[in-house]
């Protein structure tokens, strides 16, 4: 099965997609941590005069929502594209074994 070109394609596409999403999440997370460490005053500013919400709160909530969205994007792609390719590989393995 490892010699199947579809298997190599599956591994390549899934790995590239997972590493891309991981890089986005890590860049955002550590970027936020760096801002907390080096510019906390920026995050402590209220959104508008008298607002109980700060820039940091809105950014963190936005990141939280974005991380859930990215997880949903990965799950959707895994359940459609990657699963379809996996089923093709398994089907080919079963027909090859039956010969």
15-33 pLDDT, tens digit each: 999 999 999 999 999 999 9
Q: What is the pLDDT of residues 23-74, one digit of tens each?
A: 999 999 999 999 999 999 999 999 999 889 999 999 999 999 999 999 999 9
Per the model's pLDDT, the better-predicted residue between 30 and 94 turns out to be 30
Distance CA 51, CA 37 (A): 24
Give ∠ CA 85-10-23 in degrees, rounded to 5.
130
pLDDT at 2 over 90: no
pTM, 2 dp = 0.77
pLDDT at 96: 73
55 neighbors 42 (Cβ within 8 angstroms): yes
């Amino acid at each position: 099965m490892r010699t199947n070109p579809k298997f190599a394609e599956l591994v390549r596409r899934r790995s590239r997609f997972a590493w891309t999403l991981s890089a986005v999440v890590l860049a955002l997370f550590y970027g936020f941590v760096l801002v907390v460490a080096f510019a906390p005053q920026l995050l402590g500013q209220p959104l508008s005069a008298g607002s109980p919400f700060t820039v940091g709160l809105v950014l963190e909530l936005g990141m939280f929502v974005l991380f859930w969205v990215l997880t949903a994007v990965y799950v959707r792609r895994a359940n459609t594209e990657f699963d379809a390719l996996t089923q093709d590989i398994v089907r080919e393995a079963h027909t090859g074994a039956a010969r």
